[in-house]
């Protein structure tokens, strides 16, 4: 679904809490690559179908679809597909946000959650490691101690706790989640697409670069925006506001 430069991706398996299967992952990969290439798309909105869950992560029964451990090791990871989208990704979160579902949300840029949403990384309870980015992204987002609390205990936290931890940027009534997320998307879509993608690229670089290298990369992104000519429109708009204020 595309409207106002916003592409909406829906994880559509509500009867199974939008748990991901290999076929769903393959489809998601095609969609993510398509919206990333489409110049008519400036922002991506990701949400789950229904009210029970954004996503409960991987369908555990579907894991047997991998012929061997080697095939599993070389799988395409759905959270990585979301994380690799170059355009801003806003995610709307209702109900359960668990395991790989939480990792998909962590791969987005802005998270909008309903007050009844619940978050958790239960993998340790099942005997394995969060394998789609939580061990790397959660400490960077919320700090080591809070990340370890979630991943080592496997506990579920409320949306209010998730907001206090820094996992959620917008906390709203459940009935307002989709509209709020879309409003955020439309705000971002009004900006220069080169500028918003450059902001995302520079900020993502900060997660893995030393400070000096990151500052140089930021300068390159700024230069890219200037070279593309987008700054002229912003300067003209600013000059217009200044003139109006003087009048």
* Nearest Cα residue to 206 out of 145, 142, 140, 148: 140
Active-site pick, 8, 15, 123, 155: 123
* Token code pair at residue 174: 């459940």
Bridge partners of 112? 92, 170
Active-site pick, 8, 15, 103, 173: 103
For the chain, count helices (H), then strands (E).
12, 10
Which strands sit side by side in the sheet containing 89-93, from one edge to the other? 2-3, 6-11, 43-48, 89-93, 110-114, 170-172
Is 34 considered catalytic here? Answer: no
Is 123 considered catalytic here? Answer: yes
Calculated CA dihedral for residues 195, 201, 202, 205, nearest 10 degrees: 180
- In degrees rounded to 5, what are phi and psi of residue 31? -65, -45
End-to-end CA distance of the chain: 44
Active site positions, annotated: 103, 123
């Amino acid at each position: 679904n595309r409207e106002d430069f916003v592409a909406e991706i829906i994880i559509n398996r509500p009867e199974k809490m939008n748990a991901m299967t290999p076929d769903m992952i393959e489809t998601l990969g095609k969609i993510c690559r398509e919206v990333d290439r489409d110049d008519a798309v400036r922002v991506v909105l990701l949400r789950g179908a229904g009210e029970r869950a954004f996503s409960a992560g991987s369908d555990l029964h579907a894991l047997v679809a991998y012929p061997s451990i080697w095939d599993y090791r070389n799988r395409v990871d759905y959270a990585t597909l979301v994380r690799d989208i170059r355009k801003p990704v806003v995610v709307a979160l209702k109900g359960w946000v668990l395991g790989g579902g939480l990792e998909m949300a962590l791969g987005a840029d802005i998270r909008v959650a309903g007050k009844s949403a619940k978050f958790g990384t239960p993998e340790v309870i099942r005997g394995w490691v969060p394998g789609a980015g939580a061990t790397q992204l959660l400490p960077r987002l919320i700090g080591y101690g809070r990340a370890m609390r979630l991943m080592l205990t496997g506990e579920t936290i409320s949306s209010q706790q998730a907001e206090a931890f820094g996992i959620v940027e917008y906390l709203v009534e459940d009935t307002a989640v989709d509209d709020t997320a879309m409003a955020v998307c439309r705000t971002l879509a009004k900006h220069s697409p080169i500028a918003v993608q450059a902001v995302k690229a520079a900020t993502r670089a900060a997660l893995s670069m030393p400070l000096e290298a990151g500052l140089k990369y930021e300068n390159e992104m700024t230069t890219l925006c200037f070279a593309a000519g987008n700054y002229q429109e912003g300067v003209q708009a600013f000059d217009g506001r200044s003139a109006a204020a003087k009048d």
